[in-house]
Amino acid sequence: MARWERRTRRPLLGLALVFATAYAMPIVDPGMPGALHTACRAATWAVWAVFAADYAWRLRLAEDRWRFVRTHALDLCAVLLPLIRPLRLLQLVSALLLTGRLATAAAQVRLTTHVVGSVLVLWLFGALAVLEVERGEPGANIHTLGDAVWWAFTTMTTVGYGDLAPTTGLGRLLAIGLMVSGIALLGLVTANIAAWFISQVRQESEHEEKQTAALRELTREVASLRAEVTALRQAGVEAAAAPAGGAVPGPAAPGE
């Protein structure tokens, strides 16, 4: 299964981008020709079908299928949510899951990239979703993409100026989701930055400890060399003090 996931990672990422584009176009340009609107809807369903087939095939390849279902809950949600058509808000959730499924699958991507990508995706798709829900509703004040993007940004950052706000039930539900998600993601960003600083300090401390250990080892070697030099010097002095020929005079014989 790992081989299958490696081979399909890039194609599925491209399809996720197609899904996101097809989802966004009818919202950004509601006056587009009917044929193009139909093509966008067909593209979203086609991409969903590919992801559903990919999930089914990976489930078939899994040795422990129940464990696969438990550990790939996001993939299952991405497949099942589009079937619940009356709740338009779930289209946003499905798009986020389809896009995030590939981001989390790439093990070489760092946590920072994951968090930043999640923030951007949630921000843009949140703006698109609230625009789709609020535009044309009585008493609504979010009418353009610019309004929606500004509202989503102030909501995710929990600033909430109050100049723009959703008035429909789905719009307010979306606002709750953006606020909770924004707090969580911004917390991850802060924690990741703090972890980076801690890692830098730890690396510097480890470098200093290595330098200190090397200095201690060098000090021990210098002391050992000094001891050897002293021993050699003492041996030289003793050799110089000995008689020529190296014979040591013994005791005198009797009668001499």
Q: Go through the domains of the chain in sequence order and give each one's CATH number.
A: 1-108 (1.20.120), 110-197 (1.10.287.70)
Cβ-Cβ contacts under 8 Å for 24 (sequence gap 6 or more)? 124, 125, 128
Please indicate, yes or no, whether the overall pTM of this predicted structure exceeds 0.75: no
The pLDDT of residue 150: 92
The pLDDT of residue 86: 37
Q: How many Å apart are CA 159 and CA 176, to the nearest integer? A: 14
Give the pair of three-digit tokens for residue 215: 């200095």
12 C-beta neighbours (distance < 10 Å), count = 19
Residues in the chain: 256
Q: Which helix (H) or strand (E) holds 220?
A: helix 169-241
Q: How many Å apart are CA 228 and CA 234, to the nearest integer? A: 10
The pLDDT of residue 90: 47
Q: How many Å apart are CA 116 and CA 122, to the nearest integer? A: 10
The pLDDT of residue 108: 43
The closest alpha carbon to 50, from 18, 96, 2, belongs to 18
The pLDDT of residue 233: 82
| Pair 143, 125: CB distance under 8 Å | no
| Pair 126, 89: CB distance under 8 Å | no
Mean pLDDT, the chain cut into blocks of 10 residues (256 residues total): 76 80 83 87 85 84 82 72 48 54 47 71 84 86 89 85 86 86 78 78 83 88 86 80 57 52
| Pair 22, 47: CB distance under 8 Å | yes
72 C-beta neighbours (distance < 10 Å), count = 17
DSSP assignment letter at 165:
-
Q: How many Å apart are CA 113 and CA 116, to the nearest integer? A: 5
DSSP assignment letter at 242:
S
Q: How many Å apart are CA 225 and CA 238, to the nearest integer? A: 20
| Pair 47, 19: CB distance under 8 Å | yes
Q: How many Å apart are CA 8 and CA 15, to the nearest integer? A: 10
Tell the residue number behind the tokens 């979010």, with chain if given: 142
The closest alpha carbon to 96, from 112, 81, 84, belongs to 81
DSSP assignment letter at 63:
S
Cβ-Cβ contacts under 8 Å for 157 (sequence gap 6 or more)? 182, 186
